[in-house]
Structure 1
Amino acid sequence: MSEDKKVLQEFKLETDNELRFEVESKTEKVYLTLKSGLAEVFGTELVKGKTYEFTAGAKVAVFTWHGCVVEVKGKTDVVYTAKETPMVMYSNCHGALEFMRADAEKENKRGPIAMIVGPCDVGKSTVCRILLNYAVRMSRRPIFVDLDIGQGQISIPGTIGALMIERPASIDEGFSQEAPLVYHFGHKSPSTNPTLFNMLIQQLANTVKERLEVNKKTRSSGVIINTCGWIKGPGYKQLINSAKAFEVDVIMVLDQERLYNELVRDMPNFVKVIFLPKSGGVVERSKTARSEYRDQRIKEYFYGTPKNSLYPHSFDLKFSEVKIYKIGAPALPDSCLPLGMKADDHLTKLVVLTPNAGILHHILAVSFSEKDDDDIILSHAAGFVCVTNVDTDRQIITLLSPQPKPLPNNILVLSELQFMDSH
């Protein structure tokens, strides 16, 4: 074992300081242990004496309100202590939301609905995680809504969804993914089909409002919404639409004053718009890194994580046993449209697909829809499968699935996202 493999460093952190480290190498593992004092990672408390393991791609910030000593074992690419962090400001935002929740609980009304916005790579998901963790630590049960289809945290990329948060995120695995509500969009960016994206957001917002109605604890706890980094032109319109659909009370803008000023100008007065700095620990990701992250998320959906392995199933189905649809048909020129049909109606048209080589390696959403009609577009997904083989001669399609057959439903919807199963 080479010397650098056994690197052991101890850090003594002062009040309000943060230790940041990154693990880049695919073969390295880094272990973190809290020796004394109190510390947290993105709002989740570290247990003293317990060792946490981090693998490739981990970007970690250990923050302490009161001072602590931590030990880091293994080879990190970057490791340093930061004295300047926006944690106090994030904590103040939590305090303000908590005040609104307490008020909502007394009056038996809906708690705060907060949306986090900003360009790519400013730490929006991390701020969501901190605010959700703090809420749960105050015995709240907030709903987390993720509209970031490119880097989804609730399900695989290409989807939007909601999840009730009942306990803090685990340090290395994130929030428990039990019973999420997921809608299939099927693209990496909302700009591919803004009409469909808006329809799904409205549908998700309606469902979330229903959930808030039926559960008193969740109603007063409110909602935290993560958004994607598309904030210019149509992307800005999209944010405004999302804010209206969810009837937000608070918008937190990370790191972009222009966006902050536009929202102050365009949002109604009762919506509080707050500007927040990003953390100095936020790292910009390249296109390649984003694409690798997407693949990793899909792989984890089928195979689990190093700590929690899953064993997916592969099975054959006859073409006649499934119905495969695609949402969106090629656009027709206005002159060819039937009377009364608008040009963008084609964006939400259901098209039946005959299985063919073109769908190989594509993800398919298993729809909860009972009917073969437009209901499919707005139905939430029961789960996802990946096409690993299409045999047109024998009329058989092979699917990789997290569970054995039969499928929960025979209606499948094509996603543009692909996954090359190299297991």
Structure 2
Amino acid sequence: MSERDYTLEPDSELRFEVEGKKEVVVLNLLKGKAEIFGTEITPEKPYSFHSGAKVAVFTWHGCSIKLKGNTEGTYIAKETPMVMYLNTHACLERLRKQADEGLAKGEEARGPVTMIVGPTDVGKSTLCRILLNYAVRMQRRPLFVDLDIGQGAIAIPGSIGAVLVERAASIDEGFSQEAPLVYNFGHIAPNSNMTLYNILVSRMAQTVQEKIVSNRKVAASGVVINTCGWVKDDGYRSLTHVAQSFEVDIIIVLDQERLYNELVQDIPFIKVVFLPKSGGVVERTRAMRISARDDRIRDYFYGIKTKYHPHSFDVRLNSVQIYKIGAPALPDSCMPADMKMDDHMTKLVKIDPSGKLQHHMLAVTLTTDPEDLLATNVAGFICVVDVDEEAGTMKVLSPQPKPLPDTILILTEVQYMDSN
């Protein structure tokens, strides 16, 4: 195993990637202070990074670091946008202080609702993490809302979620996933069902607003919203819908001046800020995206550093209710006179369990009434590992032991093959 020491000057960043299926790289901070995406590194504590990890160690004052293991693309960058990101945090913190003062006087006030937008692979998730970590380090309790269904940072791909951030993200595992609010979308691209996506965004915004009203600490801390990388046509209209639904105060545009200018022109009543992306951001191929989605689902069941032990058990096909949201579109000539074109996108279709369910993720809802499926959040997800139609059973992988709750399951288009 190779070992190398690196000395970083103030305001510089060590960037590296971990390649190879079973490769592990261990990082130690020998002296000085440093952080990874806003989380402070503890000196002399080993941090392990596994295959696929892309890491940037930044220092404000200079430091020395030891790396053990084989890394790819390792270099020290002396030009980073971190000062601009810190200035952005300082502006948000000033707004939080103003909200605090207003709330103390009994006024209606709230901290900044900030939305990060930009095309794919510009570092939106990373900037969210940095801003949230800096907020927590100031004793704030912001809400993190993830609307990027392609990666599903809070639950799994194909879902949107929100979580209260009470402590800085773990360097190994990210933010704590305790008590997240999750809505199932069931696809990995918003344009698969824009009507449903916008309904879920509106529902999430309503729930977040209720949380802000009920908790003064959260109200003053504000919200950070991560969005999808689809920024043209319907994707752009979706971003404006998000901004209106959450009553966004600030939109941060990463790396695309055209998108910045369009938003400045179309939403003049919202503050729009342009920031450059980090030079360490790596563009991902389609294969890398698929692999990352599989890894995210595997982590959901098996954990990252803290190893989970999921449960596998048989479920009788005749004991479950399974629905799918959205039906094939009908030609205009075949539609009833009072039916709108979009209605088929939210139509509930009952599914007869069969072998076609194999490898599909199913959302476990909190309701037994099909009419509530569009508005209810979900308890979690299970994966159909195998279906035995002759025996009338399906084998599922579940984070919880049997039996399944006696509620409706929603079929998703997200698939996962369990190889553990």
Task: Report the TM-score when normalising by structure 2.
Answer: 0.97
Which residue in the other structure is 1:28 paired with? 23
Which residue in the other structure is 1:225 paired with? 225
Q: Which AA in structure 2 matches 1:92?
A: N
Which residue in the other structure is 1:189 paired with? 189
Which residue in the other structure is 1:282 paired with? 281
The answer as to whether partners of 1:18 and 1:81 remain within 8 angstroms in 2 is yes
Could you tell me which of 388, 396, 402 is aligned with 1:391? 388
Give, in whole Å, the separation in 2 of the partners of 1:200 and 1:81. 42
Compute the displacement of 1:372 (Å). 2.5
1:96-245 equivalences under 5 Å are 96-108=91-103, 109-245=109-245
The answer as to whether partners of 1:325 and 1:351 remain within 8 angstroms in 2 is yes
> How many pairs does the alignment contain?
415
Could you tell me which of 313, 337, 340 is aligned with 1:339? 337
Give, in whole Å, the separation in 1 of the partners of 2:312 and 2:8. 50
Compute the displacement of 1:310 (Å). 1.2
The answer as to whether partners of 2:355 and 2:387 remain within 8 angstroms in 1 is yes
In the alignment, structure 1 residue 61 sits paired with structure 2 residue 61:
no
Give, in whole Å, the separation in 2 of the partners of 1:96 and 1:408. 46
Q: Which AA in structure 2 matches 1:144?
A: F
RMSD of aligned residue pairs (Cα, Å): 0.9
The answer as to whether partners of 1:367 and 1:409 remain within 8 angstroms in 2 is no
Q: Deviations over 1:145-169 (max 9, x none)?
A: 0000001111100000100000000
SS at match of 2:294: helix
Give, in whole Å, the separation in 1 of the partners of 2:391 and 2:45. 55
Which residue in the other structure is 2:297 paired with? 298
Give, in whole Å, the separation in 2 of the partners of 1:299 and 1:356. 24
Which residue in the other structure is 1:379 paired with? 376
Compute the displacement of 1:410 (Å). 2.8
Which residue in the other structure is 1:411 paired with? 408
SS at match of 2:293: helix
SS at match of 1:378: coil
Compute the displacement of 1:408 (Å). 2.8
Could you tell me which of 42, 48, 55 is aligned with 2:43? 48
Which residue in the other structure is 2:106 paired with? none
The answer as to whether partners of 1:382 and 1:408 remain within 8 angstroms in 2 is no
Compute the displacement of 1:369 (Å). 1.8
Compute the displacement of 1:393 (Å). 2.2
SS at match of 1:385: strand
SS at match of 1:133: helix
Q: Which AA in structure 1 matches 2:146?
A: D
Compute the displacement of 1:172 (Å). 1.5
Give, in whole Å, the separation in 1 of the partners of 2:406 and 2:57. 44
Could you tell me which of 361, 364, 380 is aligned with 2:362? 364
Cα–Cα, structure 1 residues 225 and 409, in superposed 2: closer, same or farther, change >3 Å? farther
Give, in whole Å, the separation in 2 of the partners of 1:379 and 1:410. 12
Compute the displacement of 1:409 (Å). 3.6
SS at match of 1:167: coil
Structure 1 outlier segments of 4+, above 3 Å: none
Cα–Cα, structure 1 residues 409 and 142, in superposed 2: closer, same or farther, change >3 Å? farther
Q: Deviations over 1:295-351 (max 9, x none)?
A: 01111111112x211111111122221100000011111222222111110000000
Q: Which AA in structure 1 matches 2:387?
A: V
The answer as to whether partners of 2:96 and 2:112 remain within 8 angstroms in 1 is yes
SS at match of 1:231: coil
Give, in whole Å, the separation in 1 of the partners of 2:233 and 2:330. 25
SS at match of 2:177: coil
Compute the displacement of 1:114 (Å). 0.2
Compute the displacement of 1:394 (Å). 2.5
Cα–Cα, structure 1 residues 62 and 343, in superposed 2: closer, same or farther, change >3 Å? same
SS at match of 2:179: coil
Compute the displacement of 1:246 (Å). 0.5
SS at match of 2:373: helix
The answer as to whether partners of 1:366 and 1:409 remain within 8 angstroms in 2 is no
Could you tell me which of 334, 352, 355 is aligned with 2:353? 355
SS at match of 2:51: coil
Which residue in the other structure is 2:75 paired with? 80
Give, in whole Å, the separation in 2 of the partners of 1:402 and 1:59. 27
Q: Deviations over 1:202-249 (max 9, x none)?
A: 000000000111111000000000001000111000000011000000
Give, in whole Å, the separation in 2 of the partners of 1:241 and 1:186. 20
Q: Deviations over 1:254-288 (max 9, x none)?
A: 0000000000001132x110000000000000000
Which segment is superposed worse, 382-391 or 143-152? 382-391
Unpaired segments ≥5 residues, structure 2: 104-108
Could you tell me which of 311, 314, 325 is aligned with 2:312? 314
Q: Which AA in structure 1 matches 2:68?
A: K
Task: Report the TM-score when normalising by structure 1.
Answer: 0.97
Which segment is superposed worse, 194-203 or 66-75? 66-75
Q: Deviations over 1:157-199 (max 9, x none)?
A: 0000100000000111111110100000000100110000000
The answer as to whether partners of 2:364 and 2:379 remain within 8 angstroms in 1 is yes
The answer as to whether partners of 1:321 and 1:410 remain within 8 angstroms in 2 is no
SS at match of 1:89: helix
